[in-house]
Structure 1
């Protein structure tokens, strides 16, 4: 017994010492939110007050100093996130995560973002203020890299910290431009459906952005198997596995003074982005005698993409325009180095690249390019066969002035200056939303748009010598869709089809009308909006479109043979308001039923792989309501049976399948099939893939209300098991009331810091789930009085 007691005491001592060591290690890695630090290149002291949620309020005597401090504090909270984002476009993920990421690196290197970034930086005027401020920001980032604590992720992955440079800013923005990637998912998929099934199957699908006639060839083409599913299956799966945020959609609306209780503009915005830990935005309030902005920053980007001050507010949603074209190329019959270029033959350009791989030899690879862009065969697993497919992308073709645009937006003093800065945004296409203290409300579709004739359908891979020419006819920015102080007294965007350009609708990958209809429905009904009612609206979970869909389903269901409990659910669905509170049973039944209806409609013709790929597109979301309403569609028939099925057959069968599936997964008692049991949100960190580290790096899971395509857009992919893990949604919710701008409100999905040892790693997570908000503080007296800590930066040569 004495030996056991001694052994126990010894083990306790060892564990105690280990706990002390780990505690000291964790303390060393915790961000410094108070004290004094020297900072190179600084000319005056900079004060950084941290509020109770870890938001830095940076006060400097000049912008250069303030941006240096911004870079430092941004890096100490988000350096790992900065590191990941800059590595994507430059093809350096395999260097961290090993051979599994080589294919992803190959794809991004072939896209050419890194090459364009190098070229753009080489042509910059180093004397321009946007460049100088960007370099000042990077000076601060690099000072933290040199002097600050190394984030734990660098220890766990075994990589070294490296200084940041201007190219990294452009690469991060280039990744943002790519991450929408809906053309990569949609065009090859529709080409495959067209080639495999023919005209009659395409005509029932909403492939056009307008009401013009269907513009496709009516006969199948040769080599139909050259495209499988979509171009980016593997790439997107890799990024999702690493919890790298992907840009999806968004909501925003701006109310004129005539629509508000206090007679001032109210601005609302909630960009929809893939959930990750840390979340995508870093908040910072920067104030100097000549400049002030409360902004939301991407990791490694100096100027805020979302922001406001006492004069104006701006935000964004995805425009969803089509800015990518795919082409079948014709190789020479005897000379594999040549391809058809118009009426003659041109030489393929061969590009050689090297990828560094963790714990393995470097990978040397090459790819071919035409005058349009890279050949995707061999780079994307989904491109097979002998027919080369090339990709033209406006991002890599047009001159990159994105840094000037972001600087102009963040430094504009009025509507005119703000609008003038938007013409420099070429990709991704963005709906820029705007409101100001003078009572102006506006939105602009910002992108480099080009002329597309009625005779061209952009949703398919173009055949040789067909489709749009490589040299596009660009439209002047004044022709882009926009609205300034409209008669409706509000502007809004929910990734819906925008107004026409010159009498024509511009093609794109727009979301269905669900959220847009709900926004208009709510805004039209009220003229006394205030901050509280707008904050309630931004959490709205009702879909008027889903009510119509479920009514169409109920009109076609054959209730004969349903038992009393099933009939009771049918009755509840008839009275359903299309809402998604946590205790909703109707929501659970509806989505299980709808998924099985869609599977029964499409999978027999498409097969599982193509059907799964279709689910990852906005195109399917646009298809749901029209196909359910179209009783004559050819898709209803199950081609694997001898009889011809009717919509009633498919819908009734799907209801029975849904009932059985829910009974197995959630139990026989249907009164317990509540939404919170199947709809959850977990914020994943790349290191959280390891089950043992998941509790320390991931945040959640939480049961969460909302659903796909409601204002509180908690998107999830449909799965066979009926478990809906939310993958994207509001990356922030912001409400700015110009009648009381200093009390405007916001929230982040988890917390401000990406450092797991910071108290602000997840301190907003439960508030976010509950739909709560916190103040975006701008009053210096209040900030100083209530701040949790003060970090002072001094010039490095100061005594």
Structure 2
């Protein structure tokens, strides 16, 4: 007995020691928000006040010290995220996650971002203020890399920390630019559909510019406007990326005539794939000459979204087409040559080595033409086609995006701000602007180009066939509106108007959100911060009820039981709302999924159908396709003896939807509430390991909203029981110039990417509940409410 007691006490002692060790390790690995950091090259002391939500308010006497400090505090909360983002463009994910990411690394290397970065580095003015501030930021990052605690993800993956460079900054910007693009998911896919089924099938997918939807209106108040001269592997590769992709956004800016106070209000909620940590890192930086409350990408020194007391700006995705694919002609007797105009040229061969965790390295070679890299072999939708190259504005033209981010973040008025926008050649962005002087503006920023009329840029083009760009447009020709007479500007990734009649091809999203935004903004001229915050959370679709009514009309004369008739009656009266306790969205979206599946999958096959479902054009096609009684897609090609009609497919899809909802949610239709289906979980890359899921992931939460409403909580249409939200507002910001110090924001999870931090998920439930928090700018209020203070002092 005595021995058992001794053994028991020994076991308890070991457990206690283990708990103390775990607790001690946790304390060591947590971000440090208090204390003093001795900092090389710092000229004067810098004070960082952390507010209630862990957002740093950096007070410095000069900008170099401020950005050096920003780099350090950014790294201690987001070093793991910085590490992943810088690895994507240079093919470095396999070194972290193993062989499953080799194809993803090959694909990303083939895009040429890393090569374009190397070219850009040779053109930088290293004595410029921009580069010196960027390098100061990197010095701060690297000080944390050298002296700070190693985040737990590095321990779990056995990854060694390495210093960060300007190359990493540019590669991260390059990934962001690619993430906005949709052509890689669309053009080869549409070419495959046309080759397999014929042009009549593509015609009914609404891929062209649609003049019947809500367009963003231009307003050119100036007289100097220049006249205009008349995929499986990629899906798999992108699905495996351990970081989110940029997909859409809303923004509107209300001029003085539209607000109760007579002051400008800016609202912005960029739509990005959900992940943990969330995309944006907030930081308030103040020096005697510079102040910005900004939202930063991991590893990028200058904010993409920001405001101060004078001006505010936000972004949405332009969705213009800046990628074209070309079928190349290879020399019949020499596979290392291709035809460029009238001569044969040698393919440029690029050799890369991909390091692979727990395995030998992979040597990888890809070829380039003058138009861009050949993607056959790494891009499965192209494997059945002759060699195809990808021409992308981002890698073909001079890269000054970092200059643009620096310039707009340091601008003091609308003229200075606009002067830096031509430096954004890619990605295409809608830049939204408002200021304390009462100006509101929208500019579509990208290096647009005019194509020959016969060139269908949604398909793979022919090299050497007169289908190259005719010319690049001057920035003054881009769509824009500055202080329009209707009093506001907005963007919801919808089709912009053209200048001088030139259509701008793109991958624009349907009019649903744009129509709702205009519908709400037009009649009201007394907007304030509270009413704008209600609007940014709006979950009503102006389009879905009309579609639902049409569908109900097609099955109204069919035999239905009482429960079915009752639900159809609800859909007839539905206002398009997607609140948590509403039941109409459950039937509508399940029905819509089966309509698409029963309409498209028989012709496309399972893999192509899956790819089509992930595209923007499919979202645009839903409304016109369901109205098109004569579409070639309605007939089920698997039933030779009959020719199905729209009514046949709609009825079968209703029966399929009903059966699946009964199987998933039970026969009591009153219990088919949206909160049982529509859920959000923020997934960390390491949270894919089941035993670590609860520690790294945040959620799941039931959440209101749906696809293509203002509060756009998107999910893929699949056979899955749950509608798993995978993208939505990456922040919700409302900047009110009548009360700038009480402007509001929210992040989806928390400010810190360190799972041991108190700020890892402290905003998650607020976000789901539609709440906001103050973006603090008053120094005394910040000091009074500071939860902790971190000082940076010059190293002696």
> TM-score band (shorter)?
over 0.9
Q: Distance in 2 between matches of 1:617 and 1:231?
A: 15
What stretches of structure 1 of length at least 5 have no aligned partner? Answer: 213-228
Q: Residue 336 of structure 1 aligns to a residue in which SS?
A: strand
Whole-angstrom distance in 1 between the partners of 2:536 and 2:232: 33
Matched with 2:65 is: 65
Instruction: Provide the C-alpha distance between the structure 2 equivalents of 1:360 and 1:653, rounded to a whole number of angstroms.
Output: 50
CA contact (8 A) 2:292 2:307 kept: yes
Match of 2:491 among 484, 490, 493: 493
Counterparts of 1:552-571 in structure 2, within 5 Å, are 552-571=550-569
Inter-partner Cα distance in structure 1 for 2:463 and 2:415: 44
Contact 2:512 2:542 in 1 (8 A): yes
The CA deviation at 1:4 is: 4.8
User: What's the offset of the Cα at 1:576?
Assistant: 0.8
Give the stretch that moved more between structures: 203-212 or 618-627. Answer: 203-212
- Cα contact 2:448–2:478 (8 A) shared by 1: yes
Give, in angstroms, the shift of residue 558 of structure 1: 4.3
Cα distance in structure 1, aligned partners of 2:382 and 2:632: 28
Query: How far 1:34 sits from its partner (Å)?
Result: 0.8
- 1:506-585 correspondence to structure 2 within 5 Å: 506-585=504-583
Once residues 343 and 122 of structure 1 are traced to their aligned partners in structure 2, the CA distance between those partners, rounded to angstroms, is 32
1:420-459 matched pairs, under 5 angstroms: 420-459=419-458
1:338 aligned counterpart, secondary structure:
strand
Question: In the alignment, is the contact (CA less than 8 A) between 2:634 and 2:646 conserved in 1?
Answer: yes
- Partner SS for 2:240: helix
Find the counterpart in structure 1 of residue 779 from structure 2. Answer: 780
- Supply the distance in 2 between the matched residues of 1:112 and 1:538 (Cα, whole angstroms): 37
Q: Residue in 1 aligned with 2:138?
A: 138
2:267 aligned residue: 268
Matched, 1:677 2:676: yes
Which 10-residue stretch deviates more, 273-282 or 97-106?
97-106
- Counterpart secondary structure, 1:372: coil
Quote the Cα distance in structure 2 between the aligned partners of 1:134 and 1:392.
29
Partners of 1:689 and 1:398 in 2: how far apart? Answer: 38
Q: Distance in 2 between matches of 1:186 and 1:586?
A: 31
How far the C-alpha of 1:656 sits from its partner, in A, is 0.9
CA contact (8 A) 1:307 1:314 kept: yes
Q: How does 1:36-185 map to 2 (within 5 A)?
A: 36-185=36-185
Q: Give the Cα separation in 2 of the matches to 1:36 and 1:784.
A: 17
Deviation string, structure 1 residues 536-565 (Cα, Å, up to 9, x no partner) = 100000000111111111121144221011
Whether contact under 8 Å (2:181, 2:427) holds in the other structure is no
Whether the 8 Å contact between 1:184 and 1:230 is mirrored in structure 2 is: no
Q: Give, in whole Å, the separation in 2 of the partners of 1:644 and 1:329.
A: 40
Q: What is the DSSP-based 3-state SS (H/G/I as helix, E as strand, rest coil) of the residue aligned with 1:693?
A: helix
Is the CA contact 1:66–1:287 (under 8 Å) kept in the aligned structure 2? yes
SS of 2:294's partner is strand
Partners of 2:158 and 2:470 in 1: CA distance: 46
Aligned mates of 2:342, 2:683 — CA distance in 1: 52
Corresponding residue for residue 628 of structure 1: 626
Contact 1:188 1:230 in 2 (8 A): no
Give the TM-score taking structure 2 as reference length: 0.96
Q: Which whole-Å deviations, capped at 9, do the CAs of 1:55-109 have from their partners, x for residues lacking one?
A: 0000000000000000000000000000000000011111111111111111111
Cα distance in 2 for residues equivalent to 1:708 and 1:211: 23
SS at match of 1:267: strand
Ranges in structure 2 where 5+ consecutive residues have no aligned partner? 213-230
* 1:27-56: CA deviation from partner (whole Å, max 9, x where unpaired): 001111011111111000000000000000
Per-residue displacement from partner, 1:296-338 (whole Å, max 9, x unpaired)? 0000000000000000000000000000010111212222112
Which residue does 1:609 correspond to in 2?
607
The reply on whether 1:32 has 2:32 as its aligned counterpart is: yes
Map 1:184-583 onto structure 2 (within 5 A).
184-210=184-210, 229=231, 232-239=234-241, 242=242, 244-385=243-384, 387-466=386-465, 468-469=467-468, 473-583=471-581
**Residues 419-445 of structure 1: per-residue CA shift (max 9 Å, x gap):** 001000011100000000000000000
User: Residue 592 of structure 1 aligns with which residue?
Assistant: 590
Return the offset for 1:230: 5.1
Does the 8 Å CA contact 1:282/1:297 hold for their aligned counterparts? Answer: yes
Aligned Cα RMSD in Å? 1.3
**Structure 1 CA distance for aligned equivalents of residues 426 and 151 of structure 2:** 32
Q: Give the C-alpha shift of residue 231 in structure 1.
A: 5.7
CA distance in 1, matches of 2:522, 2:7: 74
Residues in 2 aligned to 1:401 and 1:176: alpha-carbon distance in whole angstroms: 14
**TM-score for both structures, normalised by structure 1:** 0.96
Partners of 2:467 and 2:486 in 1: how far apart?
Answer: 37
Give the equivalent residue in structure 1 for 2:23: 23
